[in-house]
Structure 1
Amino acid sequence: MYITISRFRVEGDGETFDKWLLPLADKMRALPGNVLYRVLHDPLDPQARVLTEVWETEEDHLAHLVDLDHVEIIAIGSEKGMRDMYVHHWSKAEGHIERGRSRTEQRLADRTERGEMYRLIDEFRVSRGLSTS
Protein backbone atom coordinates (compact mmCIF):
# COMPACT_ATOMS: atom_id res chain seq x y z
CA MET A 1 0.00 0.00 0.00
CA TYR A 2 1.05 3.57 -0.69
CA ILE A 3 -0.63 6.26 1.41
CA THR A 4 -0.79 10.01 0.88
CA ILE A 5 -2.44 12.51 3.21
CA SER A 6 -2.67 16.11 2.02
CA ARG A 7 -3.84 19.02 4.14
CA PHE A 8 -4.72 22.35 2.60
CA ARG A 9 -7.06 25.24 3.09
CA VAL A 10 -9.58 26.72 0.68
CA GLU A 11 -9.54 30.46 0.26
CA GLY A 12 -12.86 31.90 -0.91
CA ASP A 13 -16.10 30.02 -1.51
CA GLY A 14 -15.64 26.52 -0.13
CA GLU A 15 -18.92 25.27 -1.58
CA THR A 16 -17.93 26.29 -5.11
CA PHE A 17 -14.51 24.72 -4.56
CA ASP A 18 -16.07 21.43 -3.46
CA LYS A 19 -18.40 21.41 -6.49
CA TRP A 20 -15.27 21.59 -8.65
CA LEU A 21 -13.11 19.11 -6.70
CA LEU A 22 -15.57 16.36 -5.77
CA PRO A 23 -16.27 15.16 -9.35
CA LEU A 24 -12.50 15.01 -9.92
CA ALA A 25 -12.14 13.01 -6.70
CA ASP A 26 -14.73 10.55 -8.05
CA LYS A 27 -12.54 10.11 -11.12
CA MET A 28 -9.49 9.47 -8.92
CA ARG A 29 -11.43 6.76 -7.07
CA ALA A 30 -12.06 4.98 -10.37
CA LEU A 31 -8.37 4.78 -11.31
CA PRO A 32 -6.59 1.42 -11.28
CA GLY A 33 -5.10 0.60 -7.90
CA ASN A 34 -7.11 3.12 -5.89
CA VAL A 35 -8.26 1.74 -2.55
CA LEU A 36 -9.43 4.99 -0.94
CA TYR A 37 -9.70 8.62 -2.01
CA ARG A 38 -11.51 10.90 0.42
CA VAL A 39 -11.90 14.64 0.70
CA LEU A 40 -12.64 15.54 4.31
CA HIS A 41 -13.72 18.77 5.99
CA ASP A 42 -12.40 19.87 9.35
CA PRO A 43 -15.50 20.69 11.46
CA LEU A 44 -13.50 23.25 13.45
CA ASP A 45 -12.10 25.03 10.39
CA PRO A 46 -14.47 25.39 7.41
CA GLN A 47 -11.58 26.33 5.12
CA ALA A 48 -9.53 23.21 5.94
CA ARG A 49 -9.58 20.09 3.80
CA VAL A 50 -7.78 16.79 4.18
CA LEU A 51 -7.34 14.53 1.19
CA THR A 52 -6.62 10.89 2.05
CA GLU A 53 -5.39 8.58 -0.71
CA VAL A 54 -4.57 4.90 -0.48
CA TRP A 55 -3.13 3.11 -3.51
CA GLU A 56 -2.37 -0.58 -4.00
CA THR A 57 1.21 0.26 -5.05
CA GLU A 58 3.49 3.25 -5.38
CA GLU A 59 3.33 2.71 -9.14
CA ASP A 60 -0.47 3.18 -9.02
CA HIS A 61 0.08 6.44 -7.12
CA LEU A 62 2.67 7.62 -9.65
CA ALA A 63 0.36 6.73 -12.56
CA HIS A 64 -2.44 8.81 -11.04
CA LEU A 65 -0.13 11.84 -10.89
CA VAL A 66 -0.13 12.05 -14.70
CA ASP A 67 -3.85 11.36 -15.11
CA LEU A 68 -5.37 14.43 -16.79
CA ASP A 69 -7.93 14.92 -14.01
CA HIS A 70 -5.16 14.99 -11.39
CA VAL A 71 -3.18 17.34 -13.61
CA GLU A 72 -6.24 19.65 -13.59
CA ILE A 73 -6.35 19.61 -9.77
CA ILE A 74 -2.71 20.67 -9.54
CA ALA A 75 -2.67 23.01 -12.54
CA ILE A 76 -5.62 25.18 -11.48
CA GLY A 77 -6.09 24.29 -7.81
CA SER A 78 -4.61 27.61 -6.72
CA GLU A 79 -7.01 29.51 -8.98
CA LYS A 80 -9.84 27.56 -7.36
CA GLY A 81 -8.65 28.53 -3.86
CA MET A 82 -6.22 25.79 -2.73
CA ARG A 83 -3.61 27.25 -0.38
CA ASP A 84 -0.94 26.04 2.02
CA MET A 85 -0.83 22.42 0.87
CA TYR A 86 1.26 19.99 2.92
CA VAL A 87 1.54 16.36 1.84
CA HIS A 88 2.63 13.27 3.79
CA HIS A 89 3.57 10.02 2.01
CA TRP A 90 4.00 6.50 3.33
CA SER A 91 5.59 4.09 0.89
CA LYS A 92 5.39 0.34 1.31
CA ALA A 93 2.78 0.60 4.06
CA GLU A 94 2.36 -2.91 5.38
CA GLY A 95 -0.05 -4.76 7.58
CA HIS A 96 -3.26 -3.24 6.22
CA ILE A 97 -6.32 -4.63 7.99
CA GLU A 98 -9.83 -3.47 7.22
CA ARG A 99 -12.54 -4.05 9.78
CA GLY A 100 -16.07 -2.84 9.95
CA ARG A 101 -19.05 -2.98 12.23
CA SER A 102 -22.44 -1.32 12.21
CA ARG A 103 -22.16 0.13 15.74
CA THR A 104 -19.14 1.53 17.56
CA GLU A 105 -19.56 -0.61 20.68
CA GLN A 106 -19.89 -3.91 18.78
CA ARG A 107 -17.12 -6.36 19.52
CA LEU A 108 -14.85 -7.80 16.89
CA ALA A 109 -15.54 -11.34 15.75
CA ASP A 110 -12.68 -12.57 17.94
CA ARG A 111 -14.12 -11.73 21.35
CA THR A 112 -10.71 -12.16 23.02
CA GLU A 113 -9.10 -9.45 20.90
CA ARG A 114 -8.83 -6.05 22.56
CA GLY A 115 -10.37 -7.46 25.72
CA GLU A 116 -9.31 -4.59 27.98
CA MET A 117 -10.78 -1.96 25.67
CA TYR A 118 -14.12 -3.77 25.51
CA ARG A 119 -14.14 -4.33 29.27
CA LEU A 120 -13.79 -0.56 29.74
CA ILE A 121 -16.48 0.09 27.11
CA ASP A 122 -18.88 -2.25 28.89
CA GLU A 123 -18.03 -0.64 32.24
CA PHE A 124 -18.67 2.83 30.81
CA ARG A 125 -21.98 1.78 29.24
CA VAL A 126 -23.18 0.13 32.47
CA SER A 127 -22.33 3.32 34.40
CA ARG A 128 -24.63 5.18 32.01
CA GLY A 129 -27.45 2.61 32.24
CA LEU A 130 -26.84 1.33 28.69
CA SER A 131 -26.80 -2.29 27.56
CA THR A 132 -23.51 -4.05 26.83
CA SER A 133 -22.61 -6.05 23.76
Structure 2
Amino acid sequence: MVSEPDLSVKIGSLVLKNPVMPASGTFGPEMAAFIDFNRLGAIVPKSITKAARPGNKIPRVCEVEGGMINSIGIQSKGVEAYIRHTLPVYTDFDVPLIASISGESVGEFAELAERLSKDSRVAALELNISCPNLRNNGRGRAHRG
Protein backbone atom coordinates (compact mmCIF):
# COMPACT_ATOMS: atom_id res chain seq x y z
CA MET A 1 0.00 0.00 0.00
CA VAL A 2 1.31 3.46 -0.95
CA SER A 3 1.06 6.08 1.75
CA GLU A 4 0.35 9.74 1.11
CA PRO A 5 3.49 11.89 1.13
CA ASP A 6 3.92 14.33 4.00
CA LEU A 7 3.71 17.77 2.38
CA SER A 8 3.59 19.71 5.62
CA VAL A 9 5.77 22.79 6.02
CA LYS A 10 6.71 24.84 9.04
CA ILE A 11 6.93 28.63 8.92
CA GLY A 12 8.10 29.81 12.32
CA SER A 13 5.71 28.16 14.75
CA LEU A 14 2.96 27.77 12.14
CA VAL A 15 2.59 24.31 10.59
CA LEU A 16 0.74 24.04 7.28
CA LYS A 17 -0.45 20.68 5.96
CA ASN A 18 1.01 21.62 2.57
CA PRO A 19 2.75 24.62 0.99
CA VAL A 20 -0.15 25.57 -1.31
CA MET A 21 -1.72 28.95 -0.66
CA PRO A 22 -3.11 31.53 -3.06
CA ALA A 23 -1.31 34.83 -3.40
CA SER A 24 -3.11 37.60 -1.51
CA GLY A 25 -5.87 39.17 -3.55
CA THR A 26 -6.03 36.47 -6.21
CA PHE A 27 -9.37 35.12 -5.07
CA GLY A 28 -11.87 35.49 -2.28
CA PRO A 29 -14.51 33.41 -0.52
CA GLU A 30 -16.65 33.20 -3.67
CA MET A 31 -14.01 30.80 -5.05
CA ALA A 32 -15.06 28.19 -2.47
CA ALA A 33 -17.68 27.08 -4.98
CA PHE A 34 -14.83 25.97 -7.27
CA ILE A 35 -11.95 25.11 -4.91
CA ASP A 36 -12.08 23.21 -1.64
CA PHE A 37 -10.29 25.68 0.64
CA ASN A 38 -9.77 22.91 3.19
CA ARG A 39 -7.27 21.28 0.81
CA LEU A 40 -5.05 24.37 0.87
CA GLY A 41 -2.16 24.86 3.25
CA ALA A 42 -3.41 28.36 4.13
CA ILE A 43 -5.63 31.11 2.79
CA VAL A 44 -4.35 34.65 2.25
CA PRO A 45 -7.11 37.22 1.70
CA LYS A 46 -6.51 40.50 -0.11
CA SER A 47 -4.04 42.88 1.53
CA ILE A 48 -5.58 45.35 3.93
CA THR A 49 -4.61 48.79 5.11
CA LYS A 50 -5.30 50.72 8.31
CA ALA A 51 -7.83 53.05 6.69
CA ALA A 52 -10.08 52.54 3.68
CA ARG A 53 -8.49 53.46 0.35
CA PRO A 54 -9.99 53.46 -3.15
CA GLY A 55 -6.99 52.02 -5.00
CA ASN A 56 -5.91 53.27 -8.39
CA LYS A 57 -8.25 54.76 -10.97
CA ILE A 58 -9.48 52.49 -13.76
CA PRO A 59 -8.35 51.01 -16.02
CA ARG A 60 -6.38 48.84 -13.62
CA VAL A 61 -5.77 45.79 -15.79
CA CYS A 62 -4.24 45.54 -19.24
CA GLU A 63 -4.08 42.34 -21.25
CA VAL A 64 -0.77 41.78 -23.01
CA GLU A 65 0.53 38.95 -25.13
CA GLY A 66 1.17 36.05 -22.77
CA GLY A 67 -0.44 37.58 -19.69
CA MET A 68 -1.64 40.75 -18.08
CA ILE A 69 -0.40 43.78 -16.22
CA ASN A 70 -2.31 45.14 -13.26
CA SER A 71 -2.08 48.21 -11.08
CA ILE A 72 -4.81 47.85 -8.47
CA GLY A 73 -3.15 50.10 -5.91
CA ILE A 74 -4.22 48.08 -2.87
CA GLN A 75 -7.90 48.94 -2.72
CA SER A 76 -9.01 48.30 0.87
CA LYS A 77 -12.03 48.80 3.11
CA GLY A 78 -9.68 49.23 6.10
CA VAL A 79 -8.83 47.07 9.07
CA GLU A 80 -12.10 47.61 10.96
CA ALA A 81 -14.16 46.29 8.02
CA TYR A 82 -11.66 43.43 7.61
CA ILE A 83 -12.11 42.37 11.24
CA ARG A 84 -15.91 42.73 11.18
CA HIS A 85 -16.71 41.35 7.72
CA THR A 86 -13.79 39.49 6.13
CA LEU A 87 -12.39 37.39 8.96
CA PRO A 88 -15.76 35.81 9.91
CA VAL A 89 -16.23 34.52 6.35
CA TYR A 90 -13.11 32.36 6.63
CA THR A 91 -13.94 30.73 9.98
CA ASP A 92 -15.90 28.03 8.12
CA PHE A 93 -12.66 26.69 6.64
CA ASP A 94 -10.23 24.42 8.45
CA VAL A 95 -7.03 26.10 7.22
CA PRO A 96 -4.91 28.85 8.75
CA LEU A 97 -5.61 32.40 7.64
CA ILE A 98 -2.62 34.59 6.88
CA ALA A 99 -3.51 38.28 6.96
CA SER A 100 -1.71 40.37 4.32
CA ILE A 101 -1.11 43.92 5.52
CA SER A 102 0.10 47.07 3.79
CA GLY A 103 0.92 50.44 5.25
CA GLU A 104 1.98 53.94 4.30
CA SER A 105 4.69 53.88 6.98
CA VAL A 106 6.55 51.58 9.34
CA GLY A 107 4.21 52.83 12.07
CA GLU A 108 1.11 51.73 10.15
CA PHE A 109 2.60 48.29 9.57
CA ALA A 110 3.32 48.04 13.30
CA GLU A 111 -0.22 49.13 14.23
CA LEU A 112 -1.81 46.61 11.87
CA ALA A 113 0.51 43.83 13.02
CA GLU A 114 -0.23 44.52 16.67
CA ARG A 115 -3.99 44.69 16.09
CA LEU A 116 -4.25 41.54 13.99
CA SER A 117 -1.79 39.47 16.02
CA LYS A 118 -4.26 39.68 18.89
CA ASP A 119 -7.06 38.12 16.80
CA SER A 120 -7.19 34.32 17.19
CA ARG A 121 -8.56 33.94 13.65
CA VAL A 122 -5.25 35.20 12.22
CA ALA A 123 -2.52 32.53 12.19
CA ALA A 124 0.24 34.66 10.64
CA LEU A 125 0.97 37.95 8.92
CA GLU A 126 2.26 38.72 5.44
CA LEU A 127 3.72 42.19 4.91
CA ASN A 128 2.92 43.59 1.47
CA ILE A 129 6.01 45.76 1.02
CA SER A 130 6.52 45.23 -2.69
CA CYS A 131 3.57 46.98 -4.31
CA PRO A 132 5.30 49.23 -6.85
CA ASN A 133 2.17 51.07 -7.95
CA LEU A 134 1.68 53.06 -4.77
CA ARG A 135 2.77 56.65 -4.16
CA ASN A 136 6.57 56.98 -4.06
CA ASN A 137 6.92 53.36 -5.28
CA GLY A 138 5.28 52.05 -2.10
CA ARG A 139 7.85 53.61 0.19
CA GLY A 140 5.31 55.74 2.05
CA ARG A 141 5.20 59.49 2.06
CA ALA A 142 7.99 61.30 0.30
CA HIS A 143 10.12 63.54 2.49
CA ARG A 144 9.92 67.18 1.50
CA GLY A 145 12.66 69.67 1.81
Q: TM-score, normalised by structure 1?
A: 0.26
- Specify which structure has the bigger relative contact order, considering alpha-carbon pairs within 8 angstroms and separated by 6 or more residues: 1
Q: TM-score, normalised by structure 2?
A: 0.25
* Structure number having the greater helix percentage: 1
